[in-house]
A and B are shown apart, each in its own frame.
Chain A
Amino acid sequence: MRQISAAYNKAVKELLREKAALFWTIAWPIIWVVIGSFSFTGSAPQEVIPYIKGSITISMMVFALMIAGMSNLPASIAGDRANGLLAKLMSMPIRPYRDFIGRISAVITLSLLAAALVIVIGIAVGARFTGAGIEIAQAIGFIFLVICASAGVGLMAGTLIKNLQGAIMTGVGIAVITSAISGLFAPYEVLPAPLQMFARIYPISSAQASIVNLLAGPDMVAYNPLTSSQIALTIALSFVLLIIGTVLYSRLGWKLE
């Protein structure tokens, strides 16, 4: 337990003291919540605008979770490898899985902090949500899936890309590109058919659509992401990404050769 808490405390402190991580994970999504809430509501009826703002807030919250998992996590892994800490840890009586749990827990903490701040700012600029009780619980479940999928991608990037900047940029690149082509930044209905297909398969955009459906209303999503098959696919792929990332990290992450 002490090894897990040691890894967790170190990772949390480093993340909270890293200005770039804070900017991309917290400030950047908040900036877009503010800009989006005043610029992209267009000529929508007044009574719908709060829910459009709610939808934008949820998208940016999901983006914050993606950046935390896909960029901050690999940065932490690749950074420790590049500066020799990994070699130091390998020489110590430490179980790698404890280090892993500590790191993942730190990323979850930062993710939840970012999500909470984005939602607070969203509400402050007029976002409103519809769900209550069971919908909120379900939305939290989908948030958990976003964290799992993002952490899985982050573990893959941090394990396979040995260079610190390379790992960060790969994570950011995957987050930005997949967000752009899966309808996180643009309405699902304006995407070409192949990308609409991708948006349904990609677990993060599917989870985001589910959260929007639950908390901003079904009218805010151009398809129904809450069918049994769609939910099953989202859950399965989120865990597949996390499992692949975990297996890669445990097999290759703690190796220098």
Chain B
Amino acid sequence: MFAVHVENLVKTYGNRCVLDGVNLSVLEGQFYALMGPNGSGKTTLASIIAAVRTPDSGIVEVYGSKPAQAKELIGYIPQENFSSPKLSGKENLMYFASLLGYSRIEANRLVTEMLKSVGLSEEADKRVAKYSGGMRKRLEVATATFPDIRVLILDEPTTELDPAARRTFFGMIQEIMNKKTTIILITHIGSDAELASKVGLVDNGRMIAEGTPDELKRKHAVEDVITVETAAKADNVVRVLSNFSKNGKVAESGAGYRIYSQNGGKILADVVRSLDQAGYKVMRIEMARPTLEDVFFRLTERSLQEEIG
């Protein structure tokens, strides 16, 4: 059974087409990641599924109903930190419980359980202003775990989390998944999308590929990925690296660059030598199997972060 079904969805803002005939089906209990760069339309798609925005045309269904008629089933977590910093964690959850119509006694019981499930029992009475980013995000996800909610939509939940908080966060998501809740994760981070059972790659308002993470990598990214970090970033580094990369493309990657090659093992030493001759000391170089970010680069020839070559 489909928890979410989207067919030929179109959405425009003025003259700009943000979603251009998107199709998407998410099975009940599935963990589905929508991955794409900023401005690709994934947040708009999520907000339409969450009944926050309306489409220009197309079909959107949550358990067979229009999103506006299925709000009881939807738990939407926008990208921004929407919990009130002036209220405690418990007060925030009590607010949402009251909005959903729970009596004070019921709300108290539920909120106590929810705080426990997201590991915030000890900080329940502390003001949210004093929470860390990870704690705040966990509290906000708790607002979307009331008993009736069956579809959880998370918009870029880990963007501001450190690695430890991110691990804790996905541990909590695993717990939620165990309750058969359908999860739609919006992200531009490949390693987050890797955790999903199915991934949809979105670019320029279109779904450009869909499948399990392994399927996508097998089908679309066959080259080795070489990550290079030099003492400084410079156009000359990009120029040197482009000589070694398939199609001459160089993607930005954190503190360094990424290039793609079908014989990565053989060119590593040449890359270091060439950069050294150009006056750029290589601080780190490594070869790895492709990730979902590489799949995206392969399909669009653009990095999820920034295209530079």
Contact = CB atoms under 8 A, between A and B. Distances in A.
Please determine whether chains A and B interact with each other in the same assembly. Answer: yes
B95 A87 contact: no
A256 B98 contact: no
B80 A84 contact: yes
B143 A88 contact: yes
A87 B72 contact: no
Nearest to A79: B84
Interface string A86-113: 0111111110000000000000000000
A94 B84 contact: no
Nearest to B76: A91
B51 A18 contact: no
Interface residues on B, range: 20 to 34
A10 B95 contact: yes
A85 B77 CA distance: 9
B81 A87 contact: no
Contact of A87 (B13, B76, B143): B76
Specify which of A18, A80, A257 lies most central, judged by the most chain B CB atoms within 10 Å of its CB.
A257
B99 interface: yes
A92 B84 contact: no
B52 A90 contact: yes
Contact of A91 (B51, B87, B91, B101): B51
A39 interface: no
A92 B52 CA distance: 9
B167 interface: no
Contacts of A82: 80
A10 B52 contact: no
Given A83-B81, A88-B76, A3 B98 contact: yes
B81 A17 contact: no
A251 interface: no
B79 A90 contact: no
A10 B78 contact: no
Interface string B123-158: 000000000000000000001000000000100000
A10 B87 contact: yes
A144 to B, nearest CB: 28
B95 to A, nearest CB: 5
Interface string B201-216: 0000000000000000
Contacts of B81: 83-84
A13 B80 CA distance: 21
Contacts of B143: 88
A9 B76 CA distance: 23
B98 A92 contact: no
Contact of A2 (B51, B74, B91, B101): B101
B95 A257 contact: no
Contact of A90 (B13, B51, B98, B101): B51
A177 B76 CA distance: 41
Given A3-B101, A84-B78, A87-B78, A14 B86 contact: yes
Contacts of A7: 99
Interface string B34-59: 00000000000001001111000000
Contact of A94 (B75, B82, B99, B102): B99
A87 B87 contact: no
B99 A3 contact: yes
A13 B52 contact: no
Given A13-B86, A13-B87, A91 B74 contact: yes
Nearest to B140: A88
Interface string B88-110: 00010001101111110000000
Given A87-B78, A256-B47, 7 more contacts: A14-B86, A83-B82, A84-B80, A87-B80, A87-B82, A88-B76, A92-B74
Interface of B: 13, 47, 50-53, 71-72, 74-82, 84, 86-87, 91, 95-96, 98-103, 143, 153
7 contacts: A3-B101, A83-B82, A84-B81, A85-B84, A92-B71, A256-B47, A257-B53
* Closest CB pairs A-B (n = 3): A84-B80, A6-B98, A91-B76
